[in-house]
Amino acid sequence: MSRSSPAVTQFELAVLQVLWESPDVPIRDIADRLYGGASTSQYYTVQKLLERLEGKGLVTRDRDGRTHRFRAAIDRSQFVGDRLQDLADTVCEGSMAPLLTGLLHTRSISAEDVDVLRKLVEDLEARTRKEPGRRRRS
């Protein structure tokens, strides 16, 4: 589906979110965070999800004796960017403008978010000015 990161299920995404918040954790800690005191079957469910994510190249494993520690192989920002580009390619013929416009018109955003967006636009404009021949998409 994506050029940089494969599609994930809702449950795989929940595991990735734990790993983005707390990298380098064992399965038990991930299961406890997801289930609040995981049962044996929930532990094995998380183990299977981690194996699938590892197979997709989204998670890495460090073997420390009997304990395996996991971390996300892709950061949240890259993952979100890939998902948004996929959506733009599928729904908006590759253009990000309708996607971002739709998002901003349907959600309220904080003053802090406005500041972040303003900085991103300024950085993008500066980069675009430095790259002759580059056309902006709308």
One-letter amino acid at 1 equals M
- Banded pLDDT at 137 (limits 50, 70, 90): low
**pLDDT digits 0-9 by tens, 30-83:** 999 999 988 999 999 999 999 999 999 999 999 888 889 999 999 999 999 898
Taking the C-alpha atoms of residue 85 and residue 72, their distance in angstroms, rounded to an integer, is 20
Taking the C-alpha atoms of residue 128 and residue 110, their distance in angstroms, rounded to an integer, is 27
Taking the C-alpha atoms of residue 121 and residue 125, their distance in angstroms, rounded to an integer, is 6
Q: What is the mean pLDDT of residues 76-98?
A: 90
For the question of whether the overall pTM of this predicted structure is more than 0.95, the answer is no
